[in-house]
Amino acid sequence: MNPRIWLLLERAHDDLAAAADVLKTERPWRAATDAYYAMFHAAEALLLSLGIETSSHSAAQAAFGQQFAKTGRLDTKLHRYLLNAYDKRITADYDVTVKLRTDEVQALVAQAEEFVAAAEHHLASDLDS
**Distance between CA 74 and CA 24 in Å, rounded?**
31
Q: How many domains does the chain have?
A: 1
Give pLDDT tens digits for 78-109. 999 999 999 999 999 999 999 999 999 999 99
DSSP state of 26: S
Q: Please report, in angstroms and rounded to a whole number, the separation of the first and last CA atoms in the chain.
A: 12
- Please say whether the beta carbons of 112 and 38 come within 8 A: yes
At 45 the pLDDT is 98
Range of the domain at 12: 3-128
Maximum separation of any 2 CA atoms in the chain, in Å: 49
Give pLDDT tens digits for 40-77. 999 999 999 999 999 999 999 999 999 999 999 999 99
CATH of the domain at 12: 1.20.120.330
At 42 the pLDDT is 98
Q: What is the mean pLDDT of the chain?
A: 96
Sort 29 into a burial class: Cβ within 10 Å, 0-12 / 13-18 / 19+.
buried
pLDDT class of 129 with cuts at 50, 70, 90: low
At 126 the pLDDT is 74
